[in-house]
Amino acid sequence: MSKRQIIFDTETTGFLDDPTNRMIEFAGVEMINRQLTGNYLHLYIHPERDIPEDAVKVHGLTLEVLEEKNAPVFAAVGNKIADFIRDAEIIAHNAPFDEGFLNREFAQMGLPNVRELGCQVTDTLAMAREMFPGQKNSLDVLCNRFSVDRSKRVLHGALIDCELLADVYLAMTRQQFDLMGGAGEESCDGQTPVNPVQTTRNGRLKVVRADETELAEHEQYLDGLGDECIWRKSATAEQQA
């Protein structure tokens, strides 16, 4: 599991189906061996066009805000983004949207697209729909479902969304990772992984029977349930059968 992963997100002026829409924010956080490394890339980008009010309501970014931040145009930062994600597995929620905008911006610069940069793309929305079919699977919903604290998320923001998605992704894949034998806990110094204990099974289950004290406590508990105790009715029915 040593492959470099980038959890990333974008904010834009609108939807992908309008070819005039542009990217206005990019964020990516690096993860190696299921641990965030602290390495990240976060950029505000001037779209060279207006930002519709509907989009502003989602992410809170206006042209005035971007200009105050001295946001560069994409052509000035495209190579930096390409180098950051190159040869990594990139993970996004509704990845076709974010990948589509990256590819559009890269194409305008004559750069390779995401796949041509050697990236594998993982869509956590598709993963969630497979895990929870017929249910809502927005990032907010998944944060609630996996007990990920999203109290700092008021508006959509690329960097905070990446941090939340990293926690959600780890929660979604924890069982799969364990089954692959990668869940060995670290030692106290945080450096040396402990090898998981290998056990063998003989095909027989060990039966541990209750002792007299435990049986007496159980009967006392059933007495407290009254005459309608389902456990005793079931036992009586079995004896009569």
Q: Would you please indicate which residues are annotated as catalytic (active-site) residues? A: 156
Q: Is 27 helix (H, G, I), strand (E, B) or coil?
A: strand
Beta strands at 89-92 and 35-44: parallel, antiparallel or unpaired? unpaired
Is 11 annotated as a binding-site member? Answer: yes
φ, ψ dihedrals at 92, nearest 5°: -145, 160
205 is written with which tokens?
Answer: 């289950």
- The residues facing 23 across adjacent strands are 12
The residues, any chain, with a CB within 8 Å of residue 8's CB and separated by 6 or more, are 26, 27, 28, 29, 85, 90, 91, 92, 98, 158, 162
Is 59 annotated as a binding-site member? Answer: yes
Pick out the residues of the known binding site: 9, 11, 59, 161
Pick out the residues of the known binding site for a divalent metal cation: 9, 11, 161
